[in-house]
Chains A and B, each alone.
Chain A
Amino acid sequence: MRSSSGETILGVEGARLGYPGAVVLENVDLSVGRGEFWFVIGPNGSGKTTLLRALLGLLDPLDGRVVRDPRFAARTRTGFVPQQCSFSQALPTTVREFVSLGVIGGDRGRSERAQDLAWALDRAKLQGMEGLDYWSLSGGQRQRALIARALVRRPSLLVLDEPTEGMDIGSRAVFLETVDSLHEEEGSTVLFVTHHIEIAARYATHVALVFDGCLMAGRREEMLQPEKLERAFGERGVAFADLSASASSPGDDA
């Protein structure tokens, strides 16, 4: 597993997050270092997506502040994979057009974009499908198109919001291997929101547990402890702890 540089590129300090009249998370402190693979885990409605939106700059904190390394402030090298992209099925688009929209706001030159598109399609295992109608793809292939759209920016920071929801086991494995290889080979920092603790146990260097309006964050081996998981998920957390222990490979060193 790739080690991180420890250099903070994104963080939240003493933040209160939510919407006017509806505070979702309080006293949030989080520091994401370059090259780290973060998993944000928590029950439904706990505020995972709210945290992500704040980190991406889509939601201003009610209090406190979001800290970004100046090199990431413009978001030219930030890739985002939403849970799903719910535009109208009546709208025609090909895989090529859909993925190439990801370059908007990026810092790559025109001549590099064709190479980046080919590279992103290859990494997402969509090569040869460029000309296909986006809506003719399977659910798993569409999710891979979403990650290709994020990769085409050659991101140093990749943010994924529950991207494996609704995927079958095979598609999920391919998807996760793609993200993991990006982290390992390109040194990208990854922020991955999911319900699946076993995935975090396998790939994470760091974990943030979001529950009851608060956030606990730290290295994977500190966070995936039975008592902490029980606090976050109740009695189910103990079962999750067993699951995470079995999913984590013995040789892994975060």
Chain B
Amino acid sequence: MIESFVDSWGLFGDTYLAGWAVATLLSLIGVWVVARDQIFLGAAVSQASTLGTALAIWLQGVTVIHAFETDAVTFLFAVVASFLTALVSTRPSRPGRESAEAITGWVFLAGSTIPMLLLSSDPHGLEEVHRILFSSILGASRTDVWLFGFLLVFSVVGVAWLRDSIVLYAMDPEMAGAVGLRLPVWRVGMAAWLGVTVGLSIHSAGMIYTFGCLVLPAMAARKICREVRPMFVVAPAIGLGTAALAFLLAHGVDMPPAQMAVAFQCAVLALAWGWSWLRSRVAA
């Protein structure tokens, strides 16, 4: 199986590398999402990105402006939709203001239905939306590898530099503001980090793979670790490990790699739940 996998590198090498970079990157950001206990935010941001993509395709169909007819515009719409969703969903709660949970629910449902309605008479557009929802990563290119490689390096450096501030901002934003962190800047910065990464990932790897890699490794790390800070190492390790193993196995048994990776991550999370339960029993 390994020999066959190595043989396929010439054809699918870029897909494998892009998929692993996406898994590692999303798992790293996922620690922040999971630390805020906003798991559903990941689904809403991913779905908003699908809506952005559909909107771009629809505009390409109805407008005569040629500038719209490029992949860059589709990327841009996907990223902007993800960013705005992350920004609105992480607003501090205030009396009379709609809850973050309600907003993420609304975005998720709008993002699930509007793309289908917009593109119901556009076979190419519908196919693109189905590809995103199906999570096919086979089309990833060398550009994706460089793009996600750059984002991964940028993110690792950022986390290494600001890890404790990210943890405090996730756990206790009020305290973070009181000790001098500029909360509006942080909110926009974190929403941009999440929005750009998810928006680009959705376009290359699809909805299920993006949402799965974003939350499942971080949730498993939360059960395995005794502190938040080690989660920034454990979650990416789980993300990369499950993606590597899944791609190898999926190639061997001819199954879709993205779904295989997410299934592995679900299994790791179930094992982590068991481990956590066992540890608490032993401690008691």
Q: Which residues of A are interface residues toward B (Cβ below 8 A)?
A: 19, 56-58, 74-76, 78, 80, 82, 85, 87-88, 90-94, 97, 100-106, 133, 149, 153, 159
Known: A56-B177, A80-B175, A88-B37. A101 touches B226 (CB 8 A): no
Known: A90-B37, A94-B227. A58 touches B171 (CB 8 A): no
Question: Which residues does chain A contribute within 8 Å of B183, judged by CB atoms?
Answer: 58
Q: Number of contacting residues on B, CB 8 A?
A: 27
Stretch at the interface among B47-55, B65-73, B135-143, B162-170: B162-170
Say yes or no: is B94 at the interface (Cβ < 8 Å to chain A): yes
Say yes or no: is B172 at the interface (Cβ < 8 Å to chain A): yes
Question: Which residues does chain A contribute within 8 Å of B37, judged by CB atoms?
Answer: 87-88, 90-91
Give Cα A58–Cα B175 distance, bound, in whole angstroms: 10
Question: Which residues does chain B contribute within 8 Å of A88, judged by CB atoms?
Answer: 35-37
A104 touches B226 (CB 8 A): no
Cβ-Cβ contact count across A and B, 8 Å cutoff: 81
Say yes or no: is B228 at the interface (Cβ < 8 Å to chain A): yes
Q: Which of A74, A85, A92, A93 contacts B180 (CB 8 A)?
A: A74
The dominant DSSP class at the A interface is loop
Q: Which of B34, B165, B180, B229 contacts A75 (CB 8 A)?
A: B180
Q: Which residues of B are interface residues toward A (Cβ below 8 A)?
A: 34-37, 94, 164-165, 167-168, 170-172, 174-181, 183, 222, 225-229
Q: Which of A82, A87, A104, A133 contacts B181 (CB 8 A)?
A: A104
Give Cα A94–Cα B37 distance, bound, in whole angstroms: 18
A92 touches B179 (CB 8 A): no
Give Cα A58–Cα B184 distance, bound, in whole angstroms: 10
B227 touches A105 (CB 8 A): no
A76 touches B180 (CB 8 A): yes
B174 touches A58 (CB 8 A): yes
B179 touches A82 (CB 8 A): no
A152 CB to nearest B CB, Å: 11
B177 touches A92 (CB 8 A): no
B228 touches A104 (CB 8 A): no
Interface centre among A75, A92, A102, A153 (most CB of B within 10 A): A92
Known: A101-B164, A133-B226. A56 touches B172 (CB 8 A): no
Q: When A and B form their complex, which 3 residue pairs have the shortest distance between CB atoms, in order from nearest?
A: A80-B178, A88-B37, A105-B180
B131 CB to nearest A CB, Å: 34
